[in-house]
A and B are shown apart, each in its own frame.
Chain A
């Protein structure tokens, strides 16, 4: 089961949980599980066409999935998926 870290703005949808363990062998599958478990999360993460929203960043063990294989990025049990809003420069 991959671990998914839930960002603060979504924690009220996960009953306050900041971490959820879910099954799936690819990032997209894990996200689908998350969306199944907490149905109201889906429209937060995805636009009308089902694409991840512009301001959402997803990392696998700290690497942005856009540098990997996107939602097809493979994940195993020991991996950690982090969902974070885009943040500013500095």
Chain B
């Protein structure tokens, strides 16, 4: 067996690999532990694997040979030559994870969590979501043929409401912010015997994000990037990309690269970035206010671990204003042709700030993680798109209205 236990990240107590998520003793989060001696994975086996993130299955916490999959992962890693020039850096890549089946990186965590939910015998899957997770759980829940319940803040962007609702899940809008949705789901998870992907299935769910570390390393020719910029809400994604690269290093699949981790947050929801800047290991919860709703978490569960990775890797963190988020979205679209949602605006805006502040070394490779799709948050950029130049269907009208045609 590749894995059979969960372990408390705080006090190291072990638990069986069931649908549990906190240590009964100290409330610390539980994490899947693997028997690495029994894991058979190599560059070759990976290269021959399926064209989805299931090529890394030996390092994922699912036993079944038929996971619930819609072809997630193996998204493009593109060299960003125009943005390199614009920002004055030498080697920049964009991991474009906005082109997953439900248009965000959440499909990575959900394919793992829903596969595990089915394996553990749940007939219902559920989640608390800032939007993207709702879309993903709705799709994968239906694909798995399970009852599907998603909880979202009632005031979510239309693109996310439609992007989740189209799969016909039970869609519950909670009057409150995400932290309140989250608190409610914490209570519900203790009441209903459902597989809440980010509550009682969280140890399995979170592991899916490691594949964003694996994949980037593979796509760079089995080498780790020197610097990465990762958007943070709960801090889970950043923590797990780190774990993914570490596992590859320890299994000898890549060389140790000392990758430095840079966190990106929205200014109105930046308790982790604030703790990094203040250099204190207490993450103070905040009341959120930002257009980056997918990142609007004021009380980040993995904040401390993300902080720790950033600190010990020699990285840093930035926060960006609503305006900088919109500018970031525009910059990525107009230089590299990639239309990202507000979370991606946070990442690009933070990249720019971190370069300007001298935190990111312009001579070393950088990978930025673009984790969500622009079509889901159109409200944010409605006023920032090209104006339509309306003409009659005639040559004269075109010439008259569009002098730039020359």
> Is A44's CB under 8 angstroms from B25's CB?
yes
Chain B nearest CB: distance from A55 CB in Å? 4
Interface residues of A (CB under 8 A from B): 5, 7-10, 12, 18, 44-45, 53-57, 59, 62, 64, 66-67, 82, 84-90
Interface string of B354-368 (1 = CB under 8 A from A): 000000000000000
Instruction: Return the chain B residue nearest A52 by Cβ.
Output: B27
Can you report 14 residue pairs joining A to B where beta carbons are below 8 Å apart? A54-B304, A57-B299, A62-B180, A64-B299, A82-B183, A82-B187, A85-B22, A86-B299, A87-B128, A87-B199, A87-B301, A88-B301, A90-B129, A90-B198
CB–CB A8/B301 < 8 A: no
Question: Main SS of the interface on chain A?
Answer: mixed
Select B10's contact among A12, A55, A62, beta carbons within 8 Å: A55
- B187–A89 contact, CB under 8 A? no
Q: Are B297 and A84 in contact (CB under 8 A)?
A: no
Q: Which of B232-240, B311-319, B334-342 contacts A (4 or more CB under 8 A)?
A: B232-240
CB neighbours (8 Å) of B25 from chain A are: 44
Which B residue sits closest to A66, measured CB to CB? B285
Q: Shortest Cβ distance from A43 into chain B, in angstroms?
A: 8
Q: Which of A59, A66, A88 contacts B199 (CB 8 A)?
A: A88
Q: Do A90 and B186 contact each other (CB < 8 Å), given the known contacts A53-B26, A62-B180?
A: no
Report the separation of the CA atoms of residues A64 and B233 in the bound assembly, to the nearest whole angstrom: 18
Contact A7 B186 (CB under 8 A): yes
Question: Interface size on B (CB < 8 Å)?
Answer: 49
Task: Flag if B190 contacts A90 (CB, 8 Å).
Answer: no
Query: Is B202 at the interface (CB under 8 A from chain A)?
Result: yes
Q: Which of A8, A9, A62, A87 contacts B202 (CB 8 A)?
A: A87
What's the minimum C-beta distance from B231 to chain A, rounded to whole angstroms? 11
**Bound Cα distance from A8 to B200, whole angstroms:** 11
Which B-chain residue is minimally distant from A10 (CB atoms)? B24
Q: Give the residue of B284, B287, B297 whose beta carbon is less than 8 angstroms from that of A89.
A: B297
Taking the nearest CB of chain A, how far is it from the CB of B71, in angstroms? 22
Cβ of A87 to closest chain B Cβ, rounded Å:
5
Q: In the complex, which residues of chain A have a beta carbon less than 8 angstroms from the beta carbon of B198?
A: 87-90
Given contacts A9-B24, A66-B285, contact A87 B185 (CB under 8 A): yes
List the 4 closest A-B pairs by CB distance, nearest first. Answer: A89-B234, A8-B190, A90-B133, A86-B301
Interface residues of B in 162-207 (CB under 8 A from A): 176, 178-180, 182-183, 185-187, 189-190, 197-199, 202, 205-206
B120 to chain A, nearest CB (A): 16
Chain A residues within an 8 Å CB radius of B234: 88-90
B24 CB → nearest A CB, Å: 5
B27 & A89 in contact (Cβ 8 Å cutoff):
no
Quick check: is B28 within 8 A (CB to CB) of the other chain?
yes
A67 CA to B180 CA, complexed, in Å: 13
**CB-nearest residue of chain A relative to B301?**
A86
Cβ of B72 under 8 Å from chain A: no
**Chain A residues with CB under 8 A of B233:** 89-90
User: Among A56, A62, A90, which residue has the most Cβ atoms of chain B within 10 A?
Assistant: A90
Q: Look across to chain B and name the residue whose beta carbon is closest to the beta carbon of A47.
A: B26
A10 to B106, alpha carbons, bound, how many Å?
Answer: 31
Write out the residue numbers on chain A whose beta carbons fall within 8 Å of the beta carbon of B206. 88
**Chain A residues positioned under 8 Å from B129 (CB to CB):** 90
Known A44-B27, A67-B285; contact A62-B301, beta-carbon cutoff 8 A: no
A55 and B31 CA atoms in complex are apart in Å by 14
